[in-house]
Structure 1
Amino acid sequence: MPTWFAKKASAASAPKDRSGVRVGIPKVLNVWNTHQFWVGFLKGLGIEPENIVFSSDTSEEQGREFGKGRGTVDCCYPVKCMSGHYGELIFGIKKKIHILMSPMIYSLPSFQRGHVTDTLTCTRVMAGPETIKAGFLKERDVFGENGIKYVSPFVSLGDRETVVDQLHESLKDVFDLDYEETVKAVQAGYHALDSFNQKARQQSREILEWCAREGKPCIFVLARPYHMDTGIGHEIEAELQAYGYPIVWMQYFPTDEDVMDWLFGQDIRAGRIKTPFDISDVWTSSYSSNTNEIMWGAKAAARCPWTTCVIRLSSYECGMDQPTYTPTQKIVEATGTLFFKFGDLDSTKPSGSIRIRIETIVHYMSKYSQDIIQKK
């Protein structure tokens, strides 16, 4: 049978050249724990690494210079800080960006996914990009005046099956995307994120192994991802580290099977929890990803012998954190572990009072850590 009219296989479309496109991403909120996804995703689209630009850490100078007059009414300090980050990417970079991308992250790819009710983000944090965008559009289009395309893709990073459709729909016109390259870019993004998380958890495991080998204590940080920002967390953990105490962040605590069985195996066999990542014994409303991880982190820190001290960081008037203050403290202190809370953090860094509290923590750790290790 002649094949004159048979449909010929279409040649693969030539890869689009995006090597000259510069993309700015505000380093805020849940970008702190998903940044590697966005780097991997953009690199997967052909964006050169040097053209992926993150704003600097939050600072009062950044807010005064780049965010002045563009603030919006919001009691959440980490959200209000975003104005300075937007302004810095628009006005504060010598080599201008072409696209400002500030994702609206609806859910997170937490290690607790499937073990809790859901892994959603705080609604105020999720909607933050839309809130802050208004400050740059209220009088005139600041983005357009500076030749910048603004895009805020709504994305459920916790639900990997939906991400391709969401990002393709949001970004197809901005990057001239076809569906197939979106699929590959999303795969590259998750690969980068998973690899980074695995490496960070391995480093935390090495810290704990060193503590076990040397009989030394370490400090466990219970906080939201954006408290890693030096302008929001005020480098409190860094000041403690300067005294020689290793720091383990809750987000990157090792989740290897042997470690989880060692910490939670007895509770699982007793029927108190179903899996190592189950928090139903201490927190039944397990919808919020960062809140879930904080509650789980309190359980892990309470059980691990070498985490003799937990510091809890929380921003001013955080409605998501407030219900967890007492439960986390009770969980941690139930095993004799030291617990110190730095609450209501905002733009002001009270250096004097922080220094006094740091000295207090160091005193108690030096006095009681060995007893806590032996007891736990």
Structure 2
Amino acid sequence: ADFAKLGLFAKRPVDLGSRCTVFMNSSVKQAQKDGATIEDISAGLSLSVVKNALYKVIRASSPDELGKRVVVQGGTFLNDAVLRAFEQEMGVEVVRPNIAGLMGAYGAALYSKNKSKGNGKSKLANKETLKNFVHDIKVTNCGMCSNNCRLTINSFGGGRRFIAGNRCERPITKKSQSNELNMYAVKLKMLEEYKPVEGLRGKLGMPMALNMFEMYPFWYRFFTELKFEVFHSPFSTRKIYQRGQQTIPSDTICFPAKLVHGHIQTLIDEGAETIFYPCMSYNFDEHLGDNHYNCPVVAYYPEVINNNMKDVQKICFIKEYFGVHMPKHFPQKAYEALSKYFPDLTLNEVRKAAKLAYDEQDKYRKKVIAKGNEIIEKAEKEGKKIMVLAGRPYHIDPEINHGIDKLISSFNVAIVSEDVVSPRVEKFHTNVLNQWTYHSRL
């Protein structure tokens, strides 16, 4: 209430645009750095809320489209600054009833009353029951899977309760979901099959982030054959994100990239002496687009890590540039890059390891497609709907996808990923430069 009141007396409201709140947070921080007062920020936010509602949600072409006599409702309009911002944007005085925050509830009650069938007697609680009504709220974490959904448990007495915040039916039914027809779960399981093997050259850690969700089979086989004990950081959690949060240089970089900092820090904290995280301009050529680049974030984020995480200076951090898209030249280039760190490596060793790495990646890709086709075939046979979760390799990370695969599969729907169906088509014409591997699949 105090914050809203301050906005009414702002002299220079900041322009925060009308974008998503994720970007709004960054804009507010920038405004603070530029010296904006709390009053200016409060007023700026109120204006943004109004502009977002008018032009992004209602999609009015101009304020006139809403007319000259306007009544507002909803809890948001109890904020005087938002109300005033709305009046200024509309150019009219509007009516706000003193029960604005309850009007939706009254409307729902009137609607249900008018639609009720039977003898006209209400099944709602009577006055006496309402007098003894109990409502307790408890917030907890589910813990039945790695998703750790934040549950809000509403208890109404007499054993009656309502659970909200769950992304699947498990907290209610207590039954474990089957992952048989969920390609996201299958992929995670496939990656977990790559267990560390003790090696003469010591331990070599890799961050399980961004393109590593797809490239890990290649690098695992390559370095295991070179007698390293290869391991990766765990799949992302909130705790892992927070471990590297203070070293993130940009608020506007994508969340999957922000997670890399936590993965690198986790590997260092767990005693990794060598971390391999290569720069890769190109991906494998899948012949679906005009080129096969990795996006700039995926391609060059190792440079960001090297320049912003001081702890990587304490270990052997390998961020060399590799071109896996050129199998003929890869062994020689890889040998030149790695021999700077491991002088005892031989070119012959690297050649043998590279051949097995390409075989492993090919085998992994074929296994993904085969398993996906199996899911499609089984779903069609059982008459189930099939959904393609069209994302990028790192969207199988539970902290990134927020359990959307579990939510969808709880509706008895089969799930396949974009790389299962993209090989079913040949390259086709597009009206844009189609040069990014992940986008070409989509």
Range of TM-score over shorter length: 0.5 to 0.7
The residue number in structure 2 matching 1:236 is: 404
The residue number in structure 1 matching 2:277 is: 102
What are the ranges of 5 or more consecutive residues in structure 2 without an aligned counterpart? 1-197
Matches within 5 A, 1:1-376: 18-47=199-228, 51-64=229-242, 66-73=243-250, 75-91=253-269, 93=270, 96-110=271-285, 112-113=286-287, 115-137=288-310, 142-145=311-314, 148-176=315-343, 177-253=345-421, 255=423, 260=424, 276-280=425-429, 282-294=430-442
SS in 1 for 2:329: helix
Deviation (angstroms), 1:144: 4.5
Amino acid paired to 1:104: C
> Structure 1, residues 190-223: CA drift from partner, whole Å, max 9, x if none?
1111111111111111111112222221111111
Deviation (angstroms), 1:63: 2.2
Contact 2:201 2:227 in 1 (8 A): no
Contact 1:36 1:193 in 2 (8 A): yes
Structure 2 CA distance for aligned equivalents of residues 200 and 28 of structure 1: 19
Contact 2:208 2:232 in 1 (8 A): yes
Over 3 Å counting, the alpha-carbon distance change for 1:214 and 1:63 in structure 2 is closer
Deviation (angstroms), 1:254: 7.5
> Structure 1, residues 223-244: CA drift from partner, whole Å, max 9, x if none?
1111111111212112211332
Percent identity of equivalent pairs: 21
> Structure 1, residues 108-157: CA drift from partner, whole Å, max 9, x if none?
114x23x53211101122111110222223xxxx2343xx2110121122
Pairwise CA RMSD: 2.0
Structure 2 CA distance for aligned equivalents of residues 215 and 236 of structure 1: 22
Structure 2 CA distance for aligned equivalents of residues 109 and 155 of structure 1: 12
SS in 2 for 1:41: helix
SS in 1 for 2:440: helix
SS in 2 for 1:154: coil
> Structure 1, residues 238-288: CA drift from partner, whole Å, max 9, x if none?
221133212100123374xxxx4xxxxxxxxxxxxxxx32131x3541211
SS in 1 for 2:205: strand
Deviation (angstroms), 1:46: 1.7
Contact 2:249 2:308 in 1 (8 A): yes
> Structure 1, residues 273-324: CA drift from partner, whole Å, max 9, x if none?
xxx32131x3541211111111xxxxxxxxxxxxxxxxxxxxxxxxxxxxxx
Structure possessing the higher radius of gyration over alpha carbons:
2
Deviation (angstroms), 1:183: 1.1
Deviation (angstroms), 1:20: 4.9
**TM-score normalised to structure 2 length:** 0.52
Over 3 Å counting, the alpha-carbon distance change for 1:18 and 1:144 in structure 2 is farther
> Structure 1, residues 66-89: CA drift from partner, whole Å, max 9, x if none?
214222225222222211011000
Structure 1 segments (4+ residues) deviating >6 Å: none
Structure 1 CA distance for aligned equivalents of residues 232 and 411 of structure 2: 31
SS in 2 for 1:42: helix
SS in 2 for 1:244: coil
Amino acid paired to 1:67: G
SS in 2 for 1:253: helix
What count of residue pairs does the alignment treat as equivalent? 243
Contact 1:202 1:254 in 2 (8 A): no
Contact 1:30 1:105 in 2 (8 A): no
Deviates more, 1:187-196 or 1:206-215: 206-215
Deviation (angstroms), 1:173: 2.4
Contact 2:373 2:420 in 1 (8 A): no
Structure 1 CA distance for aligned equivalents of residues 297 and 414 of structure 2: 33
What are the ranges of 5 or more consecutive residues in structure 1 without an aligned counterpart? 1-16, 261-275, 295-376
Contact 1:201 1:254 in 2 (8 A): no
Bigger relative CO (Cα 8 Å, ≥ 6 apart): 1
Structure 1 CA distance for aligned equivalents of residues 210 and 428 of structure 2: 24
